[in-house]
Each structure stands twice: as structure tokens, then as C-alpha cells.
Amino acid sequence: MSDVGKPDARIETQKSPPPLSGRLLALPPLVYVGTAAWFVAACVLAIGHYVFDVFPPIWLWTALVGAGLGLIGFPIMAWQRRASRRGARGAQRIL
């Protein structure tokens, strides 16, 4: 006799974990703080590179690109938030 398809009595079901709080799921503060940190790093690196000549230029360019990507993220977040509030099917729900 085959046991294929029969439920196994030894398998226990687990409860799903509780949902995360809204504070942990909030994307805008993370993007705002991250972008601000990249801008601060770019300012420090620009001063260090052009005034004191202590940092390699690739670090400055990396910080500028990080800040630029953060700025690109702002309108994307706003677009997703509008789509979520509008009820669009493809929009993220937790914004």
C-alpha cells in the first residue's frame, strides 16, 4: 500500500509570525536618511579630495552616484504610493 497523498500525522503546523509594525515597514524614512547620508558623505569626500587631497576620486563619485540614486527613488516612491492609494493591482500595498 502506498502512502502517497496521505497526510503525515507527524508534521506539525506552525503559526505564522506576527506582522511587522508599520515603523519597520516604512520605506520613506529609510530612503530619506540614506540619501542624506550619501550627500553628507559626498560633501566630506569632496572637501577631503579637493582641499586636503586625502581621498581618491572614486570614493567621491561613488557617494555622488548613491545620492543620485536616492533622488531617483523619491519620485518612484511617490508614484508607488499614489498607485497604492488609487488601488492599482500592481502597486505595493505597504506605503
Cα–Cα distance between 68 and 62 in angstroms, integer?
Answer: 10
Sign of CA dihedral 83, 85, 90, 95: positive
More reliable by pLDDT, 55 or 23: 55
The DSSP call for residue 51 is T
pLDDT at 2: 58
Q: What is the pLDDT of residues 44-57, one digit of tens each?
A: 999 999 999 999 99
Cα–Cα distance between 90 and 25 in angstroms, integer?
Answer: 18
pTM of the model as a whole: 0.73
> From residue 31, how far is each of 14, 34, 61, 83 by CA, in Å?
34, 5, 19, 19
Q: Among candidates 77, 83, 84, which has minimal Cα distance to 29? A: 77
For residue 54, what is its C-alpha cell?
586625502
